[in-house]
Structure 1
Amino acid sequence: MSHQSQLEIINQEIDSIDSAIELLEQDKYVLIQKRNALLDAMQKNFIREGQAQETYNYNEENFPWSSDLREKAKSHFQIETFRHLQLPILNAAMDKQRDLFVVLPTGAGKSLCYQLPALLDDGFTLVVSPLVSLIKDQVYQLHEQGVPAVYITASTTKEEVKSVYQGMLSNQNSFKLLYVTPEKVSKSKMFMAKLNQSYDAGFLSRIVTLFPNTKIMALTATCPWSVMKDVMRILNMKQPQVNNGTLVYSAPLHRPNLVYKVVQRPDSAEETIRHITNWINDNYPKESGIIYCLSKKDAEVVAQSIIKESRGKIMCGTYHAYMDDEDKELIHQKWRKNQLHVIVATIAFGMGINHLKTRFIIHHCMSKSMEGYYQESGRAGRDGNKAECIIYYRGTDVYEMIKYAEDYKTCRKILFENYFALDSNQNEGLVNEITPDEVCGNCDNCNRVPEDVCTEDIADVAETIIRLCLLLKKVNERVTMTKLVQMLQNRGLGPLKSVVERNDEIMIPIDKKYNEHNIERMLNQLMIRGYLTEEYHATPYSTIT
């Protein structure tokens, strides 16, 4: 046999082995996926069922620190009754035997879970948060409550940083909590050097995985299972089902004291301001609230307009990213002291803001996303008492929120729960408990009588809309929603007028009983149901939908 023949045989055998390896790799991948799914199921089952019994003892108040915990809660935070899950989390944190992963919804009392143990610990607690507004708000509150706390952010002066570094190495316990941003932990060699020194001296009580013997508490408001798993891996936290694994505490997503409502935004800006002003005066005069706007200009205009419309009865301040830190702090303090009743803000005034007596959140314009709306509305009612969350809605608002606003029948609680459950990775659900088969009984949809909702068959109009869009696509004509509404009312057709008039199947104008708002809602329904889609066209100045 020639060398060439032998080479061909060997190559064929190699190819055969490669094919076999490829098949085995495919089989291995399938088995790994099955194994991971089984491990995930075991983890979920353990957290939901097995761990409950294991952590039962942490509900007791017979620990060496129990009386001190109660005393500090009352003297510094004026708290006599702990909220759901706070006591077992506090006990587990004080016990320092295991890491903690805490999933409590906005307003459920996550901050106390690490602030209170810090008062009883030697040294100081390190709090890492990406939210500068949260950091400054919490330090301000802690100072009011007689708790020594400091922070280091990008705006902290060199003198202030030096003072904090000295405090880290002091054995006089000059502060009990140190707040920093993740960038400070990851990029500042000086900070990490001081942290190492303080750790060696025994004065540190919380830090991430650079210090393997230190226990970690991770806290968030909502969390898919996959995110929890990733965070545990990144922070080197033990899986819950292993010996001395991470303790996981989670509370339901729904907060029953918040009442959610959607209000149709009036046609003019003046009418909208009048409606908001009258609603505040009728329902929450002299009480605290937040009005969210999309831009700095909107916030300033709305604030001045409400002051004018209310003749000074509703005092407003603005809060946005373009303000300097001193002005932000001044506005924030006046609001907390009720010298200002309402803060009119952009989303710069966001997560972590904790004014317990915030009685209402109003969205002058639609929030950018369901996640954003859940967090922003969660500023309300943090004292546990009733608070209202109002969205002023118009059909041209952000598409993702349209489904929420256009639904006049489904309980708002269920809309939130279904959204977060489906939005989590691969529909795997949330760590938070949800009950999508139970209505809240408080929102506008739960309290709406059936007679308030009427349905109408718009098949003929819908067909006209779709035929018009097909024609526009055929002639390569792009239109915004506003332009399309005008066309359907036989306005703004321009050169296309003759083309449309020659098409007998396009019945324009549509019935005059439909106003602009009605047509916008029809277009939204056609998009929600998949008959129409949006395209985004970027220009040097803006993005056109």
Structure 2
Amino acid sequence: MIDAAYKALKNYFGYDQFRTGQDQIISRLLDGLDTVGIMPTGGGKSLCYQIPALLFPGITLVISPLISLMKDQVDALGNAGIQATYINSSLSFSEGRERLTGAARGEYKLVYIAPERLEVPDFVHTLERMNVSLVAIDEAHCISQWGHDFRPSYRSIPAMIDRFVRKPAVVALTATATPNVTEDIRHLLGISPEGVVVTGFARDNLNFQVIRGQNADVFLLDYLKENRDQPGIIYAATRKEVDRLYERLSRNGLAVGRYHAGLSGQERASSQERFLYDDLTVLVATNAFGMGINKSNVRFVIHYNMPRNIEAYYQEAGRAGRDGEKSDCILLFSPQDIRLQKFFIDQSEMDESLIKAEYQKLDQMIGYCHTETCLQTYILRYFGEQEFENCGHCGNCLDTREKSDVTVDAQKVMSCVKRLRERYGKTMVAKVLSGAEDQKVLQFQLNRLPTYGIMKDRTQKNISEFIDFLTAEQFLVQQGGAYPTLALSERAVPVLKGEAKVYKKGRVRAERIVVDDALFEVLKTVRKALAQKEFVPPYIIFSDQSMREMSARLPATDHDFLMIKGVGQQKLEKYGQAFMEAIAAYEAEHSEPKEPV
């Protein structure tokens, strides 16, 4: 049956070869063997059940956590000529019942449902009567309480599978599972150890970077202006921060939207749809946005705040470059992020063992923000891949910035913190060092300290940013709650004694991700027009990767067009003429005029 799988891959999806791990997972499923697949975001997990779904006689039931993913996947499958539907809370009762009846009659090859549906007895009874050949569990880490996004409704899946008279094959897929979580998934679903297929977590097209001790707002605005025409996501830890960034970026003329749970459902849906349809370039969001978002041409993901753990970070960052094109994953680290994430953990209702595990994960996330080794290697080791060479393209691997000796300034700041008995925060320290004649400075007689005014040649803002640098580099630590005070860390002691030096690298400068050629921009316009006509997101028509290949290879015949990655027979018939005409017109307009004979 594997030959039939390759034929389906080409005819429906326009690819000649499976990606690493896809053929192995598909072969197992075609043999009726239950499988756990651990593949990176953008690694092609969906094809692992969509191809078998086309070859199996019955229905493939896909359990997916988010409504947005279901609609996205069903739209893409319909565009490729495959019958699929979804049943979730976005439908009326009669619509849901009608689709369920259609599924029972075998009108669809794939049916997407939310895990919460499995807690409704009548729904499960209806499923039992269907001819289900395959159960696909997407975002399978949600079944494990040790996963970063545990959902209790996922625990209903094993019982549902057991109720089928003729047991279907089962595949559980995720991009972010540590060895412990993988083992938990396997155990809960009763899948044998040899049924686990791990393709590796590396995403070679992603350029990871951590920026610390630098003004985050300035860098963010510079980066977005440099990449104004590239779609991207900015994650912030709180609704308040999302709103602030949204207002700031809007004032600077950027096509930006926002998404968080405090907004109305209508505004969230509008922001998401406008982003998917390329009407918005940037979306600022909390982690409420993104799981299951299938937009393939996200060129950057910027974390304005540090996430709680590496699983969450890698899943969110992995939403960049799903089409395999070069993309940026940037984390703007601030020491305040640590306090915020500790607050979130302490406010949770987890039991003590889970809280302890969350703190351990947070420590590893903090380690990522401070490591000077290869960032991708750090992430891969976290997920259990020990043998891996440096990537050669992350921010640390490419860092050639010169270091300057800032030991004397560091000693001045540390000395001031010590003179203030570690009882004041950053603002007051900066005021004392700059010699500010502030009411509180005078009231508390801090102007009598030996460190008063010893950095008066610098502005308070400049001193505050330098304090941020020292805190980010772990020479200073923040203590306390809502109004944190500054204290010296163990790293500061040898600096104050003159036994160690402090070096500061130059600023990281924002750079452009990709430079698109003029023909690619023309093809984007064609794609957008077709997408608007069919009411689907542009990337469903063709990915950026497919259009860059068209721009390079200039297909002029049906045969040439079929050779482009992502072009199957269905898409050739639907869109081939429009794109080839646009390419021919562009060539005619830009060809060199022939000299007279």
Displacement of 1:302: 4.4
Partner of 1:209: 158
Give the partner amino acid of 1:164: R
Deviation track 1:82-139 (CA, whole Å, cap 9, x = no partner) reads: 211111111111111x221111122211121112211222222222233444334333
Per-residue CA deviations over 1:245-299 (Å, capped at 9, x if unaligned) read x411112222111112344697595x55641332214xxx3x3322334455654
1:182 aligns with 2:115: yes
Alpha-carbon displacement from aligned partner over 1:52-80 (angstroms, at most 9, x marks no partner): xxxxxxxxxxxxx2333223223333333
Residue 448 in 1 paired to residue 399 in 2? yes
Partner SS for 1:321: coil
What SS does structure 2 have at the residue aligned with 1:205?
A: strand
Counterpart secondary structure, 2:283:
strand
2:275 pairs with 1:335: yes
Q: Give the equivalent residue in structure 1 for 2:378.
A: 415
- Alignment check: 8 A CA contact 1:168 1:195 kept: no
Corresponding residue for residue 91 of structure 2: 156
CA distance in 2, matches of 1:536, 1:307: 32
- The one-letter code matched in structure 1 to 2:203 is R
Whether 1:520 aligns to 2:463 is: no
What SS is found at the alignment partner of 1:230? Answer: helix
Distance apart, 1:386 and its partner CA:
0.9
Find out whether 1:277 has 2:224 as its counterpart: yes
What is the identity percentage for the equivalent residue pairs of Structure 1 and Structure 2? 29
2:333 touches 2:472 (CA, 8 Å); kept in 1? no
Q: Structure 1 residue 114 and structure 2 residue 57: aligned?
A: no
Verify: 1:375 aligned to 2:285, yes or no: no
Going from structure 1 to structure 2, the CA distance change for 1:182 and 1:442 (only over 3 Å counts) comes to same
Deviations, residues 418-455 of structure 1 (Å, cap 9, x unaligned): 5x25xxxxxxxx2xx3445x211112221222x52345
**Does 1:384 find its partner at 2:324?**
yes
Instruction: Specify every segment of 5 or more residues in structure 1 that has no aligned partner in the other structure, as ranges.
Output: 1-64, 241-245, 422-429, 473-478
| Residue type of the alignment partner of 1:467 | K
Inter-partner Cα distance in structure 1 for 2:173 and 2:439? 55
- Structure (1 or 2) with the larger CA radius of gyration: 1
TM-superposed CA distance for 1:406, in Å, is 4.7
The structure 1 residue matched to 2:4, chosen from 54, 62, 68, is 68
Q: Conserved in 2, the CA contact under 8 Å of 1:273 and 1:305?
A: no
Matches within 5 A, 1:378-527: 378-398=318-338, 403-407=367-371, 409-418=372-381, 420=382, 430=384, 433-435=385-387, 438-449=389-400, 452-454=402-404, 456-457=406-407, 460-461=411-412, 464=415, 467-468=418-419, 470=421, 472=423, 479-482=424-427, 485-486=430-431, 494=440, 498=444, 507-508=451-452, 511=455, 515-526=463-474
Q: CA deviation at 1:357?
A: 1.9
Once the 2 structures are TM-superposed, how far is the Cα of residue 463 of structure 1 from its aligned partner? 5.1
In the TM superposition, residue 467 of structure 1 has moved relative to its aligned partner by 3.1
**8 Å CA contact retained: 1:128, 1:179:** yes
Counterparts of 1:264 and 1:444, CA distance in 2: 12
Q: Are 1:194 and 2:126 counterparts?
A: yes
CA distance in 2, matches of 1:544, 1:167: 63
**1:508 and 1:249, CA in 2 relative to 1: closer, same or farther beyond 3 A?**
farther
SS of match in other structure, 1:448: coil
> Which of 251, 256, 259 lines up with 1:319 in the alignment?
259
User: Which residue of 59, 69, 87 corresponds with 2:23?
Assistant: 87
Alpha-carbon shift at residue 519 of structure 1 (Å): 0.9
In the other structure, the counterpart of 1:35 is: none
Give the match's secondary structure for 1:226: helix
- The answer as to whether partners of 2:205 and 2:327 remain within 8 angstroms in 1 is yes
Bigger RCO of structures 1 and 2 (CA < 8 A, at least 6 apart): 2
Taking a change above 3 Å as real, the CA distance of residues 216 and 489 of structure 1, as seen in their structure-2 partners, is farther
Q: Which residue of 2 aligns with 1:127?
A: 62
Letter of the aligned partner of 1:441 in structure 2?
G
Change (3 A) 1:468 1:139: farther
Structure 2 residues not aligned, in runs of 5+ = 137-156, 340-361, 487-597
Q: Is the 8 A contact 2:35 2:170 kept in 1?
A: yes
Residue identity matched to 2:91: T
Corresponding residue of 2:197? 249
- After superposition, give the CA deviation of every residue in 1:372-394 in whole Å (9 maximum; x if it has no partner): 32222111111112111233444
For residue 395 of structure 2, give the secondary structure of its aligned residue in structure 1.
Answer: coil
**Distance across 2 between alignment mates of 1:182 and 1:509:** 62
Q: 1:369 to 1:192 in 2, by over 3 A?
A: same
Q: Give the SS at the match of 1:349.
A: coil
Q: In the superposition, relative to structure 1, how do residues 465 and 144 fare at CA in structure 2: closer, same or farther (>3 Å)?
A: farther
1:223 has 2:223 as partner: no
Task: Tell me the distance in 2 between the aligned counterparts of 1:364 and 1:374.
Answer: 15
Q: Is the 8 A contact 2:213 2:470 kept in 1?
A: no
User: 1:167 Cα deviation (Å)?
Assistant: 2.8
Code of the residue aligned with 1:135 in structure 2: it is: M
Cα displacement (A) at 1:482? 4.7
Contact 1:304 1:316 in 2 (8 A): no
Q: Does 1:363 align with 2:303?
A: yes
Q: 1:453 to 1:76 in 2, by over 3 A?
A: farther
Change (3 A) 1:164 1:263: same
Tell me if structure 1 keeps the 8 A contact 2:435–2:455.
no
